[in-house]
Amino acid sequence: MKRNNKLCKLHGTRSVLIVLLAFLMVFMTACGDGSDVSEEEDQDYGPILPADGQVVDIDGCLSDFTTNDLDGNEVDESIFADYDYTVIDIWGTYCDPCIAAMPDNEALYQKWKDKGVGFVGIVIDVQDEDMAPDPEQVKTAKLIEEEQGTTYPCLQMSKEWDPLISQVMAIPCYLVVDSKGEPVTNLIIAARDQSDWEEAFDALLAE
């Protein structure tokens, strides 16, 4: 399958992200209706695993946090403890490329969860600016999960995640963390081929 590495700009997230939109307008057009989708479908966004060994600095914000899943259940950093590595999928309900990537994410999750690799989604637009859940947006996100057949958990945003989210310039965006929530990659922009993910998983698990 040909990789679809289109992107969506961010909206509907915390006010800290608003300043990022000016940068996005430089290389992206005004997702859901197609107006927020980058036309750079064939752009190469680089490897999943950084060749220089450098990883994104998020000030430990995924190693100590509390938030809720889409059903309102409290979740903390222990969500990563059952796996050697977890792929975090940062997505929005308005983002068609994010939604299109979800079945492939689920296929990878089903294939690799017993080998030590998990998946967790972070939905950026199911809360208001005070971080209170928006019932209609949560309902939309859960419907998308059902339609796309995803079974890995998806989380609401946490106030502690500003060091991460402030660096997300477009979605879908991914990050791989270890069992303690520490990053082992840079931010990974755009969906990737399943073969690229599997090559990265093999390399990580071989360490």
pLDDT tens-digit readout, 94-121: 999 999 999 999 999 999 999 999 999 9
**pLDDT value, residue 52:** 82
pLDDT, tens digit, 9 for 90 and up, residues 12-31: 444 334 333 333 332 232 34
Q: Is residue 8 part of a domain?
A: no
Q: How many domains does the chain have?
A: 1
Q: Is residue 5 part of a domain?
A: no
In this structure, which amino acid lies at residue 20? Answer: L
Output the domain CATH number for residue 59.
Answer: 3.40.30.10
Q: 0.85 exceeded by the pTM?
A: no
Q: Is residue 103 part of a domain?
A: yes
**pLDDT value, residue 11:** 52
pLDDT, tens digit, 9 for 90 and up, residues 152-183: 999 999 999 999 999 999 999 999 999 999 99
188 in the Ramachandran plot: left (φ > 0), alpha (ψ -120 to 50) or beta?
Answer: beta
Q: Is residue 7 part of a domain?
A: no
Q: For residue 89, give both structure tokens.
A: 């999928």
Q: Is residue 179 part of a domain?
A: yes
Q: Is residue 37 part of a domain?
A: yes
Q: For the chain, percent helix, then strand, then coil, each to nearest 5?
A: 35, 20, 50
Q: Containing H/E element for 205?
A: helix 194-205
Contact of 118 with 151, CB cutoff 8 Å? no
Q: Is residue 64 part of a domain?
A: yes
Q: Which domain holds residue 33?
A: 15-205
Q: Is residue 113 part of a domain?
A: yes
Q: How many residues does the chain have?
A: 207
User: Residue 71's beta-bridge partner residues?
Assistant: none
Q: In this predicted model, which residue has the larger pLDDT, 188 or 47?
A: 188
